[in-house]
Every structure is written in structure tokens, then in C-alpha cells.
Amino acid sequence: MNVNQSAPPVPPFGQPQPVYLGHHQSSYGGQPGPTTAPTSYGAYNGPVPGYQQTPPPGVSRAPPSSGAPPASTAQGPCGQTAYGQFGQGDVQNGPSSTVQMQRLPGYQPFGSAILAPVVSQPAVLQPYGPPPTSAQVTAQLAGMQISGTVAPASPPSGLGYGPPTSLASASGSFPNSGLYGSYPQGQAPPLGQAQGHPGTQPPQRSVPLQASSFTPPASGGPRMPSMTGPPLPGQSFGGPPVSQPNHVSSPAPQALPPGTQMTGPPGPPLPPMHSSQQPGYQLQQNGSFGPTRGPQSNYGSPYPGAATFGSQPGPPQPLPPKRLDPDAIPSPIQVIEDDRNNRGSEPFVTGVRGQVPPLVTTNFLVKDQGNASPRYIRCTSYNIPCTSDMAKQAQVPLAAVIKPLARLPPEEASPYVVDHGESGPLRCNRCKAYMCPFMQFVEGGRRFQCCFCSCINDVPPQYFQHLDHTGKRVDAYDRPELSLGSYEFLATVDYCKNNKFPSPPAFIFMIDVSYNAIRSGLVRLLCEELKSLLDFLPREGGAEESAIRVGFVTYNKVLHFYNVKSSLAQPQMMVVSDVGDMFVPLLDGFLVNVNESQAVITSLLDQIPEMFADTRETETVFAPVIQAGMEALKAAECAGKLFLFHTSLPIAEAPGKLKNRDDRKLINTDKEKTLFQPQTGAYQTLAKECVAQGCCVDLFLFPNQYVDVATLSVVPQLTGGSVYKYACFQVENDQERFLSDLRRDVQKVVGFDAVMRVRTSTGIRAVDFFGAFYMNNTTDVELAGLDGDKTVTVEFKHDDRLNEENGALMQCALLYTSCAGQRRLRIHNLALNCCTQLADLYRNCETDTLINYMAKFAYRGVLSSPVKTVRDTLITQCAQILACYRKNCASPSSAGQLILPECMKLLPVYLNCVLKSDVLQPGAEVTTDDRAYVRQLVTSMDVAETNVFFYPRLLPLTKSPIENTTEPPAVRASEERLSNGDIYLLENGLNLFLWVGASVQQGVVQSLFGVSSFSQITSGLSVLPVLDNLLSKKVQGLIDSLRAQRSRYMKLIVVKQEDKLETLFKHFLVEDKSLSGGASYVDFLCHMHKEIRQLLS
């Protein structure tokens, strides 16, 4: 029996092997050649009504044209948000009268209890002797006092919740920041601002501008962001309001050495760089912007709508506040730095059960010694409670974030491919688990006991091997499936649909050629790009050309199919106008090999932009387009992917027709959930058919206004596809971003027609799943397509008692068709520890993964529950987790102390970022489509992506010596950390800002922007000039490196300090209060402390 014909004998723990998909096909005995599509497919025989064969397009340029000319239609204002990108023209709304913010209905006042126990002593970090392996963070919060300062009527940076008297104001419950036009309110940017968006202005516009409330902050003078009053009385450490550019990132409150007591005045500021691993903790003042320890914004209370509202009539009482020093609370930056320093140098070896891997922000190598790499699976905890009672008590979700086809760094070996020949992979007879390192061989090797269900199975004769004196098979290290955490099996025909080996998959490009798509330049750009991009379709290892076939469709209200058969001199177009009953008018010549049909394809791509250049058709269909692509794949009997390039709400008469039902008035009502739900069930039905065919849909959206992302993304979401959104697409501004995303998306390796099953050992089982997939039953995750960026998050629950000795096992098996049409099984195994002491659970948690799970849980929750309920649920769960720790694991201490488990000390700050994210607490500038888009994106994100998405990275560029080209250490995402003498990059995986302080040295400005002064820098700039100096090259290099780390291209936006665009930038300073009412980190921590105390009392 040859285990692995294709790969060299497996050395222990795998040296790098030919990369994934490098497996030579020669080893695959039973693979049939590419099957050709049957020539007789029922529906396509005989005369087909509804289409006429047109002459080659070059001969007769007669694009179908109907509908009114596009003047004044379909051109709403562009809702530019952080997800669409920005041109400076979008931010020119002038100041206007104050908009008073109304208290949001149902807004639960937070923080009032914080006002109660006033202890007149400064915030104190009490010494606490932590247990040796579980340091705790303690902070005295009882005395914290956030007094209510009255919000000024016209705040410069913050549309504050005013005092109670302002409640009965404005009709809309949301203010408009003026930064963005919001479609539903019918607002348009002022006419005079077209310069930033040439060509995007609608031909006619009659909607008056209203309610832009942005008041630019006064410029000049010392910068005191967000501070609206004098230093608060009782403030114990407020520096003078002078600008002093040195900022200090403090060491995090690590385990405090006994006897460290933080009282009294602050110590001297630390030097600007991290003073690494300072064990003791120094309280310090680091703000350069004056007395910034007070309430940060002009909200009257720590949470909007809190203490000063309602119950407290009259002016708020300026109680002496005892603010918590932001440096005294756990810092994400410090935790990330510490992990990098402690765990970045050694490879992570997976041989030991239940080891917590390094953080996702740490660069480390993985050696597979029997458990799946954390690149494939990350868990919320690596030590899970033995009983469900314990689990319920702790409330820590038990979940795994699985990325079955994760891409690996070049230094790490891709999974070996094991070929067991016709007998197929060896499995347990009862639970069908696949052979893995945890199976126990007994009776001299003649049988094995399943590690998942304990069933005793016979070892087939050809698989027999003797055991050594420890009971281990002597060939264990020669077989990946006996020694490694991750590997692949070649699947037999039994694992194939209809017991037939699959054909190679196909890609179908479906291009909207309606007026908007043509006018923006999209169609021309796309066709030009495809001419070269098609040469780079994914291929298997050594293959000379991709096995993937391609096809082309254009559409507006009708569909145009193209025959690009290699024997044709010119492509042929076939129009299907009967969109109500979609069919594919041709089989032969629709899906072709790129090389064979190169000339015809090139000719087609040249002609498409010309053919539709004069179109006046503005209406589009959508569902019929997907239907057509799916039918084409079905006819060709293959799986594949549709690449849809679409511009507008599909209002043409056809199945899946949509209406504009956007309504921001629903925000914060019980009906808000409808904004996230699809408006028709038609797309779910369609998606189901797509999944059955292995038809994955990737959607590229180019909307100028509301397109109902919530509905349009249903099919991509359920078929494992991706959605990209380019609001107000203009070639000159957005082509780099779009082309970059497109190239990556087309070239990336995809598994098709996939099914994933997660098996677990007795005692726990997978009960819930999150991600982009479809489920027809409770166990099988069906993915029409799955790429290397997508994750599936799985939640586990107890169904029996676990024991510490056996631990808990999981096995994720993914059956899929490779890009060359090979059917394979990828197996990932992971063993976890089990505990009878809660402390062990809390010692082995991973907060980044917890947040990934909790965000996905919440983002799904908004489909069925009011957003407020979802937020409250998260807060309650977090409080319960921390209260349980406090009650059961922490050493006795005074109730006034907030004690956080070391592994979870960032839970509050990260959770707060989730709570105030656009989905759960939208600002006025965030459109309904943006929210649906982000909701959909987060569903498939891995842990690294959610980590940076919710807590963006803020990198100072001019702090470190210019010669130092390594990535600078990040600073905390707070305005207090910005020095006006510096330049910063901020990224969150989707957006990239370059913030320029107003006092940056002239030389720096010259080096980076090629202009002589700050005032000459163009705000909103998206490309930095390429200049021949060290700083310019360093910054360009850093931007390139950040982009390379992310799965989507991040367009750069240059933001100048005190410029209007800065409001947008500040949205990402997540430790601060947000304009939409999101709490600051400090305030949220106080609130969390209050919640915990309530649970404990």
C-alpha cells in the first residue's frame, strides 16, 4: 500500500513540501480527463423562444436599448463612507445651524451607578499578588467619578447629547454630520462641490441641501481635542495645556509587584519609545494636549443618555471626578508588544495538547506536530470546562474559528496529500471520523479505537502495521495522517456528486453594461483588465495552464451571452430578453479554454465597451443574471464561480426585482432588523440552487446610491462568495483599489462544491455555525466555494461530561473540488485540554478569538433582535464572564477593585469596539448599505481581521529614526496619542489613513508631499508623490507592506489635522467617545465594573 505516491516519504513533522496544490496529478490514478459537456441537454435543444441570434457585434452594433434616458435618474448623491472611499469633494458641506441630537429611543442610560459610591481618592492601582500563572489586572474603580458637563449647543467635535431640555428637538433621531450625504434623507452635496467628483453629479438636482451640522473646529492655538471645559475640579493629574509632542505608550499594567501602590502625583513621563518590559507600573501623564484626563467629549455623562438625563433634573452636579488614567488600564498595544517580544522568536510547535498559540498580531512560525496550526483553527479557550454547569457558570463561549484553506507563509509546509487508492481514506465505521494521530491502535495493530466515539474498528490488511513498545505504529512518522494535525486525502469517486469525478470548474464574468457602468468607465476598465488577467487564473502546482474555463455575459434589463469558441473569427452575441424564465441560449462555445480562444476573447473584450458606449438603459436585473450563470454551470456539469459587476438597485421587471426600502427612521426601533434582512425570499431560493450546483458568486458593487446590499449579498453570502463595494466609483479615483481586489479575487485558490463537517469527541458537539455558507441540516456546512480568506466559526456545547485525562478533540473535514477538478478531503485535527477548575479555563483563553465569535454572534443577532437588545446581551455576557472569574478565581480583594483575568484583560476594550461599531451603533454618516456590507464582511473574517477591524492600528511615522525601516510600534487608538508634530498611519483592514499633524516639520512635509508647507497639502489625497528621499520611500514601503497583509486593498486617504475629513478619521480612534454615542474605553470599563459589581452583590 503506497501511502503517498506524490510526495517524498514524510519525514517526522514535515519538512516543507511542494506547496499546496503542488501535488502532481500523475499520482492520481482514477482521475478522468476533462469531461466535455454533453451535447444534448434537454432544455437547450430545439428552437428556443425568447432569443434571437444576432450577427457578430462588430457587424451590427445594436445594443438593446430601452427605458428613459438617464438624465436625472439613478444618480443620487454618493454616500461616501469609510467603506466607499472618499474624494475631497464629498466633505465640503458648509457649516449650518446646530442640529440637536435627540436621545435615542430605548437608550439605556449607562453609568449612573458609577456616580454612587464616591471615594475621594485618586484612582489607585492596588497591589495584588497574582497567582503565578495568572496575573491579574486590578484597578480601583470605585472612586471613579464622571461628572456631567453640559454639552455646549454647538460642539466643535461631537454632536453631543445635550442636556435634558434638548430632548424634544429634531424630527430625525439622527444628526447628519454633514460629512456624507445620506440617500434616504434625500440630501445632496451642495452643487458647488463637484470638483472632487467630476462627472458624478447628476444632470439635474433639485433636492435642497439640509441639515449639515458640521462645524469646523477653530484652527490654531494649542490643540485640545474634545475638551470643552476647564480642567475638572479634583482632577489629580492634569498637565498644562501646552503642546508637547512626546507621547508615551505606557507599559501595560502587568502583574504588579507586591507593594506597588499608585497614589500621589504621576511619575515623570517615560521616554518616547516603549520602555520595554518594565515590570513595575508607573502612573504617568502623557497627554500633550492639556488636561485631558477629564471626560473626553462633551457628552454629559460617561454614556450618552446617562446620569444627566431624566432622573437628574437641573444642572448636573459637578462632583469631584476621579478619573481613571487611561495609562492605568490595560493597553492593547502593550499586550500585542509583549506577545511579540515573548513569543515571536520561537516557532509554535503543535505537539502539546491545549497550548494557547501566540496572538494573531505576532509573527511566528508553526511546526505541525499533531495538531492543526492556529492558522487553520483558533479557539476561544484551549482548556474547556469538564461539565456544562461549569461552562454555564463561566459564560465563556466555546468556539473555534476555522479557516480550512488558509494560506501559509512560504516557510511552512502545505498539507501533504495522502492517496489511499481505491479504498479511500480510512475512517471510523461508526462516526465516520477520518484516521488521525489521536486514533489508538490496539491488539497488536490489528484494530484501532476511535478517539471520537470509542468504537473499535478493524484495520484493513493493507493498512496493517506493527506497534512499537509504546503502542505506537512504527510507521507513525511516515504517515501524515498519523503524525500531523493537518493533511489531505485524495477522495474516491464515492465522494463525488452522482458518483462521477468532477469536471474542472468554470469562471463566468457577468458585466453590467447599463448607463452607470458605462459612464463611470467601469466597463472599459474591466474589459481591458480581463484581457491580461485571464492569463493568471488559478492553476494547480506544476500545471502549465489553468484548467478553469471562462464565459462571458453582459446585461442590463436583458442578458447577452457570447459565443467565444476558438474556431470563430468574431464573437457572437445572443440576447435573452425573457428574463422571467432564464435559460442559457448556447452550450458549445460559451465556456472555453482561455488559451484556445484567446483571439476571440480579446476581440470580445475590445468590443463590449464600444457596443454599449451609447446606451441609455439605466435599469438592471439581478436575480436572472445569477440564475443564468448557475444554469450555464449546470449545463456544463461543473462547479464554478460567477464574477458579477453590478451598479444599481435591480428595479427592472424580473424575478428578484427590488424596491428602495431604505429607511433610516427605523434605526433604534424594533424594526431596525428589517434593514439587515433581505426584502424578498427569492434570493435565498436562488442561493440554494446555486449551492446545489457548486456555483459560488462573487459580487462587485459600484453603487451611486442605495442598492440594498442586504438583499443583493444573500447569494454571495450563502454560496461562500465575497462582496466588494465601491461607492461612487470613478476610474481615476478608484481603479487601483478595484483592480487590485479583482486581481486577487480572480487569482486566489478556491475549493469548489465543498462540504465541511466538524466532529468532536464524546462530551461536546458543534451546535452553531457562523460564516458564508449554506446549511441544509444541522451538521453539514455547504460551501459552493471556499477560498483561503474565509473562516467558519463553530460553537460547541456540552452534551456530556468531559474528563481531564482524555481532553476534547475536534476534527474538521472539508471535502472540496480543487481548481483542477480534483476531489479532495482536507482534515484538521485539534486536541484541547479539559479542566475541573475555572481558573484553568480563564488561564487559557484567547480574547481575540472570543471577540471574533462575539462579533459574529452579535452581527447575526441584528437580523432577528433589536440592536439594543443585541448590545445589552453582549455587555451582560461579558460582565458574567468577568464576574465569574472574580468570584471563583481571583484572590479576595475589596469590591472596589476591578479584577480582570490576564488573558482577558482586553475583553472590555475590544468588546466596546464591537458595541460601537457601525452595525451596532451607526453614526449619521453610515448608510444602511454600509451596515449591511460590514455585517456581511465580518461574518467570514478570521481572528486577525476582526482584531484590526475593531481596534485599528495607529502607527507613528516620524518617531523612530528614519533609517529604521521596520514597522514602528503602534500607539493606542485615541486622539490623546496623536501629537501635532507627527504623522500617523491608521489602518483597519479596510481603510487606510495618513494623518498629518498641524505642526509637522516643514522638512517632513517637503519630503513626503513635495510641497513646502502644511497648508499646501491636499486633504483627501489618495496617492503620495513618489519622491527620492528616505522618508518618502520608507512611508511608501510601509503602506505597501500594510496592504500586502490584508485581503482587500486599502485606499489611502490623507487627513490633515483640524481638517473636515478629520471627523471621519476620528471615527477610528476607538478608545475615544464616538460621535454616534459610543462610550470611550475608560467610560466603558467603568460601566463594565459596575455591571460586574451588580452581579457579585
Provide the binding-site residues for Zn ion, judged by CB under 5 A: 428, 430-431, 433, 450, 452-453, 455
Q: How far is the CB of 686 from Zn ion (least distance, A)?
A: 37
For 683, the grid coordinates are: 434570493
The nearer residue to Zn ion, 436 or 592, going by C-beta atoms, is 436
The nearer residue to Zn ion, 432 or 671, going by C-beta atoms, is 432
The nearer residue to Zn ion, 709 or 812, going by C-beta atoms, is 812
C-alpha 1004/C-alpha 245 separation (Å) is 15
C-alpha 645/C-alpha 716 separation (Å) is 13
Phi, psi (5° rounding) for residue 417? -105, 120
Q: How far is the CB of 454 from Zn ion (least distance, A)?
A: 7
Q: How far is the CB of 822 from Zn ion (least distance, A)?
A: 27
The nearer residue to Zn ion, 433 or 919, going by C-beta atoms, is 433
Q: Quick check: 817 and 21 in contact, CB under 8 A?
A: no
Q: How far is the CB of 427 from Zn ion (least distance, A)?
A: 8
The nearer residue to Zn ion, 43 or 455, going by C-beta atoms, is 455
The nearer residue to Zn ion, 455 or 474, going by C-beta atoms, is 455
The nearer residue to Zn ion, 427 or 1043, going by C-beta atoms, is 427
Q: How far is the CB of 809 from Zn ion (least distance, A)?
A: 11
Q: How far is the CB of 431 from Zn ion (least distance, A)?
A: 3
Question: Between the CA of residue 750 and those of 98, 371, 745, 780, what are the distances in Å?
Answer: 52, 24, 10, 19
Interstrand relation of 506-512 and 640-646 (parallel, antiparallel or unpaired): parallel
C-alpha 786/C-alpha 677 separation (Å) is 23
The nearer residue to Zn ion, 185 or 829, going by C-beta atoms, is 829
Q: Which residue has the cell 478553469?
A: 548
Q: How far is the CB of 382 from Zn ion (least distance, A)?
A: 23
Q: Which residue has the cell 461616501?
A: 80
Comparing C-alpha atoms, which of 988, 992, 995 is closest to residue 956? 995
3 state DSSP class of 110: coil
C-alpha 49/C-alpha 6 separation (Å) is 51
The nearer residue to Zn ion, 439 or 547, going by C-beta atoms, is 439
Q: How far is the CB of 910 from Zn ion (least distance, A)?
A: 38
Instruction: Tell me which amino acid residue 492 is.
Output: T
The nearer residue to Zn ion, 453 or 496, going by C-beta atoms, is 453
The nearer residue to Zn ion, 119 or 431, going by C-beta atoms, is 431
Element (H, E) at 442: strand 440-442
Q: How far is the CB of 440 from Zn ion (least distance, A)?
A: 11
Q: Quick check: 906 and 847 in contact, CB under 8 A?
A: yes
Comparing C-alpha atoms, which of 574, 567, 562 is closest to residue 606? 562
Q: Quick check: 618 and 67 in contact, CB under 8 A?
A: yes
C-alpha 870/C-alpha 874 separation (Å) is 6
The nearer residue to Zn ion, 828 or 931, going by C-beta atoms, is 828
Comparing C-alpha atoms, which of 716, 537, 731, 703 is closest to residue 625? 716
Instruction: Tell me which amino acid residue 619 is.
Output: E
The nearer residue to Zn ion, 151 or 433, going by C-beta atoms, is 433
**Of how many residues is the chain composed?**
1097
The nearer residue to Zn ion, 281 or 441, going by C-beta atoms, is 441
Give the single-character DSSP code of 924.
T
Count CB atoms within 10 A of the CB of residue 288.
25
Q: Quick check: 998 and 980 in contact, CB under 8 A?
A: yes
CA–CA–CA angle 420, 425, 429 (5° rounding): 140
Q: Which residue has the cell 473636515?
A: 1060
C-alpha 160/C-alpha 149 separation (Å) is 11
C-alpha 423/C-alpha 417 separation (Å) is 15
Q: How far is the CB of 488 from Zn ion (least distance, A)?
A: 20
The nearer residue to Zn ion, 455 or 1096, going by C-beta atoms, is 455
C-alpha 529/C-alpha 416 separation (Å) is 35
Q: How far is the CB of 993 from Zn ion (least distance, A)?
A: 52
The nearer residue to Zn ion, 428 or 841, going by C-beta atoms, is 428
Count CB atoms within 10 A of the CB of residue 276.
11
Beta bridge partners of 954: 971, 986
Query: What's the N-to-C CA distance of the chain in angstroms?
Result: 66
Q: How far is the CB of 761 from Zn ion (least distance, A)?
A: 9
The nearer residue to Zn ion, 346 or 799, going by C-beta atoms, is 799
Comparing C-alpha atoms, which of 232, 233, 272, 279 is closest to residue 252? 279
Q: How far is the CB of 453 from Zn ion (least distance, A)?
A: 3
Q: Taking the alpha carbons of 972, 978, 984, 985 in that order, is the dihedral positive or negative?
A: positive
Comparing C-alpha atoms, which of 249, 242, 238, 241 is closest to residue 271? 249
CA–CA–CA angle 1056, 932, 158 (5° rounding): 35
The nearer residue to Zn ion, 170 or 453, going by C-beta atoms, is 453
Q: How far is the CB of 464 from Zn ion (least distance, A)?
A: 19
C-alpha 362/C-alpha 338 separation (Å) is 9
Q: How far is the CB of 439 from Zn ion (least distance, A)?
A: 9
Comparing C-alpha atoms, which of 225, 182, 376 is closest to residue 923? 182
162, HSE (Cβ side, Cα atoms, 13 Å): 17
Question: Between the CA of residue 17 and those of 12, 23, 481, 711, 822, what are the distances in Å?
Answer: 12, 9, 15, 43, 19
C-alpha 111/C-alpha 119 separation (Å) is 16
